[in-house]
C-alpha cells in the first residue's frame, strides 16, 4: 500500500532561519512526489514536483530513493511562508491519483 508520512504536525521557526519539512513515503513502484501548500483560507496549490527539479519561492525538494524521502527545504524562511504543507505521492503516472500525508503547519515568526 502507498503511504506518505510527515512526522511533524507543526514546525515553528524565526524569519531567516533554515526550514526543512520532512516527508517519507512507501511505495513499491516508481514514485512521483509532490509538495502542495495551503495558505490560510485558500485552496491547495501545487508548490513543486520532483520531476521538474525546480525551485519555487526559494523551496527545493530532492527525491532520495534510498531513504524514500522527499524533504522540502528553504535556506531562509519568510513570514509569508507560513502555511500548511502537504507531501503527496502519485500512484500512477502524473496526477492520476494523489495520496497525501497528514500535513505540516509551518509557522514563521518575525
Partner 1 sequence: DAEITQSPRHKITETGRQVTLACHQTWNHNNMFWYRQDLGHGLRLIHYSYGVQDTNKGEVSDGYSVSRSNTEDLPLTLESAASSQTSVYFCASSGGGGTQAFFGQGTRLTVV
- The CA-atom distances, in angstroms, between 67 and each of 1, 23, 71, 79, 104 are 17, 10, 11, 30, 20
Q: Does 101 bind partner 1 (CB under 8 A)?
A: yes
Scanning residues 52 to 91, which ones bind partner 1 (CB under 8 A)? 86
Total interface residues for partner 1 by CB under 8 A: 20
In the complex with partner 1, the residue whose CB is nearer, 19 or 87, is 87
Residues near partner 1 (CB under 8 A) are 6, 9, 42-46, 51, 86, 93-103
Amino acid at each position: 500500500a502507498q503511504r506518505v508520512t510527515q512526522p511533524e504536525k507543526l514546525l515553528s521557526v524565526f524569519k531567516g532561519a533554515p526550514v526543512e519539512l520532512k516527508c517519507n513515503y512507501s511505495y513499491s513502484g516508481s514514485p512521483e512526489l509532490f509538495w502542495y501548500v495551503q495558505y490560510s483560507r485558500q485552496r491547495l496549490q501545487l508548490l513543486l514536483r520532483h520531476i521538474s527539479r525546480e525551485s519555487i519561492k526559494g523551496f527545493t525538494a530532492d527525491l532520495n530513493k534510498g531513504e524514500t524521502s522527499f524533504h522540502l527545504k528553504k535556506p531562509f524562511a519568510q513570514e509569508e511562508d507560513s502555511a500548511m504543507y502537504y507531501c503527496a505521492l502519485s500512484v500512477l503516472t502524473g496526477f492520476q491519483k494523489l495520496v497525501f500525508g497528514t500535513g505540516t503547519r509551518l509557522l514563521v515568526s518575525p
